[in-house]
Chain A
Amino acid sequence: MIGINSIGFHIASERISNLEKTEKHGVTHDFIAEKIGIASVARKKSAEKASDLCVSAYDDLAKRVDESALDDIEFLCVCTQNGDYHLPQASAIVQSKLGISKRCAAFDISLGCSGYVYSLHIAKSFMDACGLKKGLLFTSDPYSEIIDTNDKNTDLLFGDGAAATLLTDNPVFDLCNGVFETDGNMFEHLIKRDNEKLAMNGRGIFNFAMINVPELVTKCLKANALRKEDIDLFLLHQASKYIIDNLCRRMKLEQEKVPFLIKEYGNTVSSSIPIALREYLDKTDKKNILICGFGVGLSIAASVLRRR
């Protein structure tokens, strides 16, 4: 069965300090440090595209695995809503840039912060169904291209980054049962209309997360016949410190089991979970990891990763 073998990631090298934007956005240092929890956001170079971030994440992955581990890639998927072009799909461009053989299925998945959990399940199902042994799942959604830098709701939150997840039939983590929900009635809460910048209703997202994340986590535990105590780590989408803190309080979880890791680079959308997960790939005491992504749609997905 296909699962996660390794992860590489790339966080854009330039950092914009949020603490220097307090006056511009009418907020305090404490608000940024204690509530948003993001001291600086990562910004890609303007000429860099989603596919370039994928290539950098791949280069990081290549340093972590044996030379032959990335041979014979048969599957390549990019989860993005800010690809290089409206068309073609970013996955085809990434395949070309990496020089991967044409004997490779490649497609994009259009999802935001729930995208990693969805994409893992789509990739696993596709690969298992087609008998494919080795694939790459990329997440790359450079929001700096769509942010209004005068909008404090988004300017202080989002950073540019990408992740490359190697999927194989000899994984470190097996993917257990996933649960998925959507509330399309709330689609306007996080939206980028044509010729406009990203607009986010922070209250709408907060309310959605507070109601739906605890419910879906409970459903996910049930779907996998697990109890809360069986989970070693809850990797929730790294939206903001305030959302993570309040979810932790609401679900009565131990704080050390719910890490917040994006202080230095910001919310990287669908890459936030794989970048965080990389921190724990080699920590063998983390046997069961629950992952939960939520955002654009509004969409939410949760699953459990079980260490082999």
Chain B
Amino acid sequence: MSSVTHDEVVSVIKKTDVKLDWERIDLKENLTEQGADSLDMINIIFALQEKYGVEITDESISDGEWLSIDKMVSNLNRALQQK
């Protein structure tokens, strides 16, 4: 399976209707620092789970592993390699 890209993750997030300033989005910065709230993050992570068929644990979320698009891409690729 080919690697997950930043563009793909951005596309998944956009479909959730979460309001972010996509012109100025910083891929390395936490989305919670760029306008997303706790419910938005639940929604985004649900959309990623559904799209890529990976399980994302509450613990990894609490540890801040899914806060930025950059981290999302890395973690998704790691999870998909282990499948």
Contact = CB atoms under 8 A, between A and B. Distances in A.
A interface: dominant SS: helix
Contacts of A202: 38-39, 42
Given A210-B46, A246-B43, A203 B37 contact: no
A206 B58 contact: no
Interface residues of A, number: 14
Contact of A31 (B17, B37, B58): B37
A107 interface: no
Given A206-B42, A210-B46, A201 B37 contact: no
A206 B56 CA distance: 14
Interface in B1-51: 17, 37-39, 42-43, 45-46, 49-50
Nearest to A207: B46
Contacts of A211: 50
B29 to A, nearest CB: 19
A249 B43 CA distance: 12
A242 interface: yes
Interface string A32-67: 000100000000000000000000000000000000
Given A203-B58, A207-B46, A249 B17 contact: yes
Q: How large is the interface on B (under 10, 10 to 19, 20 to 34, 35 or more residues)?
A: 10 to 19
Contact of B42 (A27, A28, A203, A249): A203
Interface in A243-262: 246, 249
Contacts of A28: 37
A280 B39 CA distance: 30
Nearest to A243: B39
A188 to B, nearest CB: 11
A28 B39 CA distance: 13
Interface in A202-224: 202-203, 206-207, 210-211
A35 B42 contact: no
A31 B39 CA distance: 9
A242 B40 CA distance: 9
Contacts of A35: 37, 39
Contacts of B38: 202
Given A207-B49, A242-B39, 9 more contacts: A35-B39, A201-B58, A202-B38, A206-B42, A206-B43, A206-B46, A207-B42, A211-B50, A242-B43
7 contacts: A206-B43, A206-B46, A210-B46, A211-B50, A242-B39, A246-B43, A249-B17
Interface of B: 17, 37-39, 42-43, 45-46, 49-50, 58, 61
Interface of A: 27-28, 31, 35, 201-203, 206-207, 210-211, 242, 246, 249
